[in-house]
Amino acid sequence: MKPLLLIDIDGPLNPYGGKPQRRPDGYTTHRMRPSGWTHDKPLRVWLNHGHGGELLALAEWYELVWATTWKGEANDWVGPHLGLPELPFIDWPVMHGASPRGMFWKTQYVLDYAAGRPFAWIDDEITELDRDWVGRHHLSDALLLRVDHRIGLTRPDFDALADWAAAL
């Protein structure tokens, strides 16, 4: 069984923290209205279409899974722009809730979803507290890859994910 690759959108795929007036090189601007977006203006999402091919290449090593607050809507709004097939997603029981010992709220649910399987997780909010928690509570291999929300995924990130999976 392949390890899981748990993929967050905002930060890793959509470098939302970049300067609003300057789209990052290689990215295209998209305007979206997912169901949780309640503002009058559509949400600005920057996507690098090359990331779809990079993720599909990693599917040789991983089972790809959305680990995003977009949940299943990632398959409607983001996946098609990247050329991704419909992916399973983590259906968070509670979003943005309290977490044990100051960890990121997703961490406990990521471990529940992984259910003991090896996994790599890409997100912009992973901290050392999360790495420590996973190290103590997950008995299989795990790679928690923090991505800068101003930059998004880069070549070294994709290389690290491939190298980690190949070493399992």
pTM greater than 0.85 (yes/no): yes
What single string gives the DSSP state of each residue in 62-111?
A: -EEEE-STTGGGHHHHTHHHHTPPP--B---SSSS---GGG--TTHHHHH
Query: What pLDDT score does 29 carry?
Result: 92
Structural domains of the chain, with CATH: 4-14+49-167 (3.40.50)
The packing angle between helices 155-167 and 50-58, to 10°, is 10
Residue 96: per-residue pLDDT: 77
What is residue 68's predicted lDDT score, i.e. its pLDDT? Answer: 96
The confidence score (pLDDT) of residue 55 equals 98
The pLDDT of residue 134 is 96
Mean pLDDT by 10 residues, the chain (168 residues): 97 88 85 86 94 98 97 97 98 79 90 97 96 95 97 97 97
